[in-house]
Structure 1
Amino acid sequence: MGFSQGHFVIQNKKQTDKIQFKLINNLIILPVEINGVALSFLLDTGVNKSIIFNFLNITDTLQIKNTETIFLRGLGEGDAIKALKSKGNILKVGDAININQELFAVYDPNLNFAPRLGVPLHGIIGYDLFKDFVVEINYTSKYIKLTSPAVYKYKTCRSCETLNMEFYKNKPYIYSTVKIKDKQVPVKLLIDSGGSDALWLFEDDSLGIHVDNIYFEDFLGHGLTGSVYGKRTKIEEFSIKHFKLQQVNVSFPYPESLIYVKQHKDRNGSIAGNLLKRFNLIVNYPNKTITFKKNRHFHDRFDYNKSGIELEQNAVRLVKEKDYNYISSGDFLGSENNPSKTSVVINTKYTLALKPAYSIVELRADSPAHKVGLMVGDIVLSINNKSTDKYTLQEVTQMFYDKHGQRIKLEVERDGVELTFVFYLEDIFMP
C-alpha cells in the first residue's frame, strides 16, 4: 500500500475519536469538514480516491485548487468523468485531521447521488481515512471509532472472526464462500461499504458462479460512470468462516458495467452494505485484517423492493398547509369586566409550503407497478392515502419492501393530471 500524500492525525491525548453517522439505504453517511466547510460524505471502502462533487451551490470558501485535469473510471456503462486533482486541502473527520489531503473535484452535475438517498451528499472517502487508523464500524449504534494503531488494543472476542485482507489498488479484498446449487464455491470479494446491496457476483461458469434459479432483471444502482443493471436472485448460503447466512440476496451485474472493475481478474464480486450491516466491524488497514462480530441485524430477512419502482427526490412541490392564528380578547383567566368569559377567535388560514417531490426514475418491466400503468416521470403525491411529504424518501421506499401481497395505493401527478393506481407487492422468490 502507498502512503504518498498527507496523513490523518487525531487531535486529542487519547488518540481516538467516535463519530456518529447516518445509515441511509445501508450506506454510511459521515460528517466531513473540508477547508472549514461542513459537508456529508459516503464512507466507501471500495474507493481509493477522495472525490468531491455536488458542491457548486454550497460556498466559495471551499477554495478547491485546480491543479491538474484527470479522468476517473468506475462502475457504470458511461464514459470516464473529468475531474480536477487538488492538493493541500484540510480535511477533518471528528478529531482526525489531514492538512495535506488530495481531492478529486468533479464539476459534472450528473454525478449527484443525493436525489437517490434523499439526504445531502457531497463526496466519497475511503482509503485515505482507513489507511491511518484502526476503524471500528458499529452499524447498530451508528458510529465509527477512529483509533491510532499505536494505541489500539483488541479485546478478546470468541464469537468474532478475523480475516486477512488483500489489497489491489488500495482496495480491500477477503476470501469467503458461496453455496450455489449445493456446491461450495470459494470467492474473492471486494469489501464495498459504498454499495447498498448485499452481495454482487460476477458470472463465471468455469467456477460455478451463475444464476441458477428464479431471477429478474433490474436497476442495481449508480456507479461513478453511470447506471448499473443486472439480474437479481438469491443464493443458498454465504459464509465468512463459521458465520453462515441463508437465502442471501445477490445481484449479477451485466458485463458492460464491469469493464473497469474486472481489471482485477481474480475478483469474483463484492460484499456490500446490506450484508456488512449485519456485523460490527474492526477494519485495520495497517495490519491488513478485518474482524466481524455479528449484531442484532444478523438474522434479519434479506428483503428486496417488490414494487419495481425506484424513486428519486429530484424536485420540490407546493403543498397547501393549515396555518392557525389565535387571536384572543380578554384574559384566559377572566377579568374584572368579564370574570367568567373569554372570547378566542381561531382564524384558519392556508399557506403554501415547498416540500420534497419523489418521482419515479426507474421502473422494472413486468413489475406490479409497471403492470398497472405507472410510468417513469410520475411524481408520487401520496402512498396509502397519506401525503408523501410526511415521509422521508427512505420511509417511502421501505414500504415497497413489505410482505408479499401487501396493497399499495399511489396517487401520482402526470403532466399536471392526478391519477390513482393500486397494486400488490409480489415476491417472486416465494416457494
Structure 2
Amino acid sequence: MYKGISLFLAFFFATQLLCLAQVPGFFMKEDKRKAVIPFNASNSLIIIPVSINGNTPINFLVDTGVRSNILFSKNLGDALELVYTRRIKLVGADGNDDLMASISPINHFDLGPVEGVFQSLLVLEDEFIELESVLGIPIYGILGYEFFKFNPIKVNYDDGKMIFYKTSALKWRPLLYRKMDMTIYENKPYITTTVRQKDGSLIYPKLLIDTGANHGLLLNRETSDDITMPPLFLESALGQSLGGVLYGFIGRVEYMKLANFRLDEVLTSYPDETPFSYVIKDSGRMGSVGAEVLGRSRLIFDYPRSRLFVRKAENFFAPFEFNMSGMVVKKIPDDDNRIYVSDIRAGSPAHRAGLESFDEILSINKVPIFIWELTEINKLLRSEAGKEIELEIRRYENDDLTKWKDHKFTFVLRKQI
C-alpha cells in the first residue's frame, strides 16, 4: 500500500515539474542564482544576440514597452523556417498605418545562459529596417514582456551587462538602490513620478517605462490639461515607430525625479495627438520615460513583485543635449558604412551652411566616413556649442547615382534649445 502511494506521489510531482517546465517564459539553463548576459548599449538601447530555433544569432532589442516578441521580417522568418498559424492586423504607433503580421506560436530562443521556451513571435510581413538606419547596426526583432515576467533583471548600462536572477532572488532591496512601486498593466510596466515644468507647476504623471525608446521624457499633452509646453521648443520629428514617424515638439522640463533622484533640464518630447492616443488615455498614462533617462541609471526590473530598483550610473549628472547642428544623419541599411543627411531644420547651423537633405557624407573633420560609427557622429553633433564641424559631402543630381558633385561645408554647433 505504501509503495503504491509513493509511486503515485512520484508520478504526481514528476508530472507537475514537467508542466512547469513547459510554461512559456525565459529560464536559466543551469540551476543558479543568477546568469550574466552581455549587451550592446547603442544610444542606451539594450541589444543582445538571440538564436531562434538553433539558427545563427541575430540582434534583438530588449523593450519593456511592448507586450509581444516581434520579428521585423517575414523573409527572415521564412529563412528561419518558422511555422505560422494565422495573420493579424496591427495598428502602428502613429494610429494611421496598419501592419500585417503572421504569428509563429512555438519557438525556442537561446540567449547563452538563458533560454526562452515556447515563445510566440509576431512576424511583420513588411520589412522594417528603420532601426538600422537610426542606430547604425542591424536590429532584427524585439524581446518584450516574456523576457521579464518571471525573473528580476538587473540592467547595468555602465558595463553593458544584464543579470538574470532566479525568481526567488532579490527578496530585499539591494544596497545603494532606491525602490519605486511599479505596476504591470496589459504586460507593460508603469511608474508614477514627479515632474516640475518650466512654468513652475508640479505634475505627477504615470509613465510607461520604455527601454526601447531613445527619448528621455515624453509627455502626451492630450492626456491632461496640466501638461504645459515650455516657452522654448522646437518642432521636430520625434522618432521612428513601427507604424511611421512620430512628429511633435522638443522642449525641456525644469526637472524630473526617478526614485527621488533628481534629473535637471530633461529633454522632453511632446508628440502630436494621433488616432492611437485613445490607447494611451485608456492605460491612464500621461507619457513615458525612455532610454535617454533610463541609461543614466542602474535598474532592477522585478515584475513578479511589482518593483523597480534605481541607482545612479556614472553619467547620471551629464547634461541632456540636443543635436546642435540641425541635421539628422542616418545610415543606408545593408551597406558598409554610407551615411547621409536625412532631414535638416530650417535656420539651423547646417542649413545655413548650405547642406541639404540626401547629401551623402564622405568625411567629418577630415576623417573618412568609414572610420566613424553612427553613434559617434550623433555624439559629436550634441557635444559642445561653438565646436566647428567640417563636412565633405557628395550631392547627387536628380537622384541619378551616376552624376554627382562633391562639396565642402563648415558650420559651428549652436544650442537651439
TM-score using structure 2 length: 0.88
Residue type matched to 1:357 in 2?
Answer: R
Q: Deviation of residue 75 (structure 1)?
A: 2.0
The answer to whether 1:166 aligns with 2:168 is: no
8 Å Cα contact 1:53/1:112 also seen in 2: no
Residue correspondence of structure 1 range 92-111 to structure 2 within 5 A: 92-111=110-129
Equivalent residue for 1:203, pick from 221, 225, 229: 221
Residue 173 (structure 2) pairs with residue 133 (structure 1): no
The C-alpha deviation readout for 1:138-197, integer Å capped at 9, x for no partner, is 11111111112124454542x422111122221111000100111211110000000111
Per the alignment, do residues 226 and 315 of structure 1 end up closer, same or farther by CA in structure 2, a change over 3 Å counting? Answer: closer
Larger radius of gyration between Structure 1 and Structure 2: 1
Task: Verify: 1:418 aligned to 2:406, yes or no.
Answer: yes
**CA RMSD between the two structures:** 2.1
- 8 Å Cα contact 1:75/1:261 also seen in 2: no
1:251 aligns with 2:232: no
Are positions 1:380 and 2:361 aligned together?
A: yes
Taking a change above 3 Å as real, the CA distance of residues 222 and 160 of structure 1, as seen in their structure-2 partners, is same
Give the one of 20, 38, 62 matched to 1:20: 38
Aligned with residue 301 of structure 1, among 301, 319, 326: 319
Displacement of 1:207 after TM fit?
A: 4.1
Tell me the residue number matched to 2:104: 86
Offset at residue 5 of structure 1 (A):
6.5
> d(CA) in 2 for partners of 1:57 and 1:288?
35
Q: Is 1:225 aligned with 2:213? A: no
Structure 1: give runs of 5+ residues left out of the alignment.
318-354
Match of 2:380 in 1: 399
Mapping for residues 56-67 of structure 1, pairs under 5 Å: 56=75, 60=79, 62-67=80-85
Structure 1 stretches of at least 4 aligned residues deviating more than 6 Å after TM superposition:
none
Judging changes above 3 Å, is the alpha-carbon distance between structure 1 residues 15 and 56 closer, same or farther for their aligned structure 2 residues?
farther
Deviation, structure 1 residue 262? 2.1
User: Residue in 1 aligned with 2:24?
Assistant: 6
Identity of aligned residues (%): 30
> After superposition, where does 1:282-301 map in structure 2 within 5 Å?
282-301=300-319
SS class of match (1:8): strand
Match for residue 13 of structure 2? none
How many residues are paired up?
Answer: 387
Cα distance, 1:73 vs structure 2: 2.5
CA separation in 1, counterparts of 2:50 and 2:23? 19
The aligned counterpart of 2:69 is: 50
Distance 1:182 1:398, change over 3 A: same
Shift of residue 315, structure 1, vs aligned partner? 5.5
Shift of 1:51: 0.2
Is the Cα contact below 8 Å between 2:219 and 2:271 reproduced in 1? yes
Aligned residue number for residue 359 of structure 1: 340
Change (3 A) 1:156 1:183: same
Q: Is the 8 A contact 1:77 1:227 kept in 2?
A: no
Change (3 A) 1:260 1:205: closer
Query: Post-superposition shift, 1:34?
Result: 0.8
Cα distance, 1:305–1:242 mapped onto 2, change above 3 Å: same
Tell me the alpha carbon deviations over residues 106-125 of structure 1, each in whole angstroms, 9 at most, x when there is no partner.
Answer: 13124541121111211011
Looking at secondary structure, tell me which structure has more helix per residue.
2
For 1:360, give the aligned amino acid: V
Query: 1:178 aligns to what?
Result: 195
Please tell me whether the aligned partners of residues 69 and 83 of structure 1 are also in contact (alpha carbons under 8 angstroms). Answer: yes
With the length of structure 1 as denominator, give the TM-score of the two structures: 0.85
Give the Å deviation of 1:101: 0.5
Letter of the 1:81 partner, please give it. L
Whether the 8 Å CA contact 1:8–1:132 is kept in 2: the answer is: yes
Distance 1:105 1:265 in 2: 25
Relative to its length, the structure with more strand (as a share) is 1
Taking the aligned partners of 1:135 and 1:150, their CA distance within structure 2 comes to 12
Q: Does structure 1 retain, via aligned residues, the 8 Å contact 2:259–2:310? A: no
Unaligned runs of 5+ in 2: 1-21, 397-403
Kept after mapping to 2: 8 A contact 1:49/1:125: yes
